[in-house]
Amino acid sequence: MFNKILIANRGEIAIRIIRACKELGISTVAVHSTADEHSLHVRFADESVCIGPSASEKSYLNVPAIISAAEITGADAIHPGYGFLAENAGFAEICKSCKITFIGPTADHIRQMGHKSTARELSEQIGVPVVPGSNVTLESAEDALESAGEIGYPIILKAASGGGGRGMRIVRSDKELATSFEVVRSEAGAAFGDPSIYMEKYIENPKHVEMQIMADAHGNVIHLGERECSIQRRHQKLIEEAPSATLSADTREAMGQSAIALARQIGYKSLGTVEFLCDKDENYYFIEMNTRIQVEHTVTECVTGLDLVKEQIRIAAGESLRFGQKDIRIYGHSIECRVNAEDPYNFLPSPGVISGLNIPGGPGIRVDTALYVQSEVTSHYESLVAKLIVHGIDRAEAMAKMNRALSEFHIGGIKTTIPLHIDILASDEFIDGSYHTGSLDSMLARM
Ligand code: MV4
């Protein structure tokens, strides 16, 4: 096992990782920007190193500063959290060449899954369902027209190196295609340094359902069930739940086996998330694989009783999984609301100093946050300030707990998305579980 881990992140996830390290008896090194000098993650870690000014590019993305911090403090591993360097294959490679363990998959696996059309092709080859689409990247607008002719409109153009909703465009006719092709191509080139794009049949109003998997270095691969993440706006998730309110046991099992097959095929070793789109007839299609610990891992932790961050660290240290698929049970129901420092009605950032804080509690309530009274929420970083997670015996109890916890939650000094969560939880589509990726936009239009 590692002696000392450097956490290359900030906010709630840095604290989450420090907590896992403490329970494993591992020393921790926090890194921070000048803006985060007084942050809770710095106080909770055994040691801390300032790695640069406020701007992320100069601190949390500053690879030489982070590697130097690890070397100076003698850290034997780096946990990247989510965002920042978590899916940066070059960073994973640099860690390796410096003999520091990157807590995550290999650089090759990050790269392979980061290229979405490669991941798609691989899935198709092993019989994992994919949306009908072009199996290679499209070289020209003529290529695109030919593929669209075979697939049929509407189609969606996706940047091969994009993901998470960046670099994509829906196209509904031949007429739009030539222009959209050039637009996505140049956006992709500028944003990801890779202009290659591919095409898929566009599924209208799908659910976004993802499978959590765990794979060790000894060939053991298991899944931990799904998370339903369809409440999203501009590709930012707002609410996640486990299990899905509507997925049948058969579909869950098939989706889990698909996720495992993909991980096995590439010899993947770490935690991972395999994302699927699911239509109203429960046809499911692979879209992407994420190779990091995700924001919403918490709902899977609640329903499985496992600590995913500790397991991720154990896997990186070469340990075998201590349980097989038959040991995994899903208990009850969990829901997470992401609390952002934003105006709940126009989503504009709302930075400020926290003037008061009431954190909900009681049975089945978990709050992951780096907030404290007098702490400052700056606009240098993403606006997630707290995750409110509930766990109940069933979905009805989880919703009642979430409503109760949201009503107790007070964050003074900034605007937050708490009032919006109260409205979403009261909607018919959320209550009956029929909501899909288009639902939040239509709810917002009605509000
Ligand atoms: C799709 C899709 C429909 N059909 N792919 C969005 C996030 C990224 N992981 C993949 N995404 C989608 N891929 C096919 N073949 C619908 C989405 C999607 C979406 C697309 C455009 C605008 C908003 C969206 C919201 C949720 C999901």
Please check whether residue 54 is in contact with residue 37, taking contact to mean a CB–CB distance below 8 angstroms: no
Q: Is residue 124 part of a domain?
A: no
Q: DSSP of 150-161, one letter per residue? A: HH-SSEEEEEEE
From atom 19 of ligand 1, which residue's Cα is the shortest distance away? Answer: 165
Ligand 1 mean position to 438 CA, how many Å?
A: 10
- pLDDT tens figures, 361-386: 999 999 999 999 999 999 999 999 99
CATH number of the domain bearing residue 18 = 3.40.50.20
Cα–Cα distance, 348 to 104 (Å, whole number) = 33
Structure tokens at 298: 């918490």
Q: pLDDT at position 164, please? A: 73
- 212: number of Cβ within 10 Å: 28
User: What domain count does the chain have?
Assistant: 3
* Shortest-distance Cα residue to atom 11 of ligand 1: 165
Among 201, 219, 239, where does a domain finish?
Answer: 201
Buried b (16+ CB within 10 A) or exposed e, 303-341: bbebbbbbbbbbbbbeeebeeeeeebebebbbbbbbbbb
Same domain, 89 and 156: no
Residue 84 inside a domain? The answer is: yes
Q: What is the pLDDT of residues 112-139, one digit of tens each?
A: 999 999 999 999 999 999 999 987 788 8
273: number of Cβ within 10 Å? 23
Among candidate residues 156, 183, 201, the one where a domain is terminated = 201
**Residue 222 pLDDT level (bands cut at 50, 70, 90):** very high
Residue 366 main-chain phi, psi, to 5 deg: -130, 135
Domain that holds residue 414: 207-446
Q: Which of 35, 30, 34, 33 lies closest to 18, judged by CA?
A: 30
| Residue-wise DSSP of 257-322 | HHHHHHHHHHT--EEEEEEEEE-TT--EEEEEEE-S--TTHHHHHHHH---HHHHHHHHHTTPPPS
Q: Does some domain include residue 405?
A: yes
* Ligand 1: lining residues by beta carbon, under 6 Å: 131, 156, 164-165, 168, 170, 200-203, 206, 208, 232, 235, 275, 277, 287-288, 437
Q: What is the pLDDT of residue 167?
A: 85
Q: How far is the CA of 293 from the centre of ligand 1 (A)?
A: 21
CA gap 185, 196 in Å, rounded? 7
Query: In the chain, what percentage of residues exceed pLDDT 70?
Result: 100
Pocket test for ligand 1, best of 169, 230, 437 (most atoms within 8 A of CB): 437
pTM of the model: 0.97
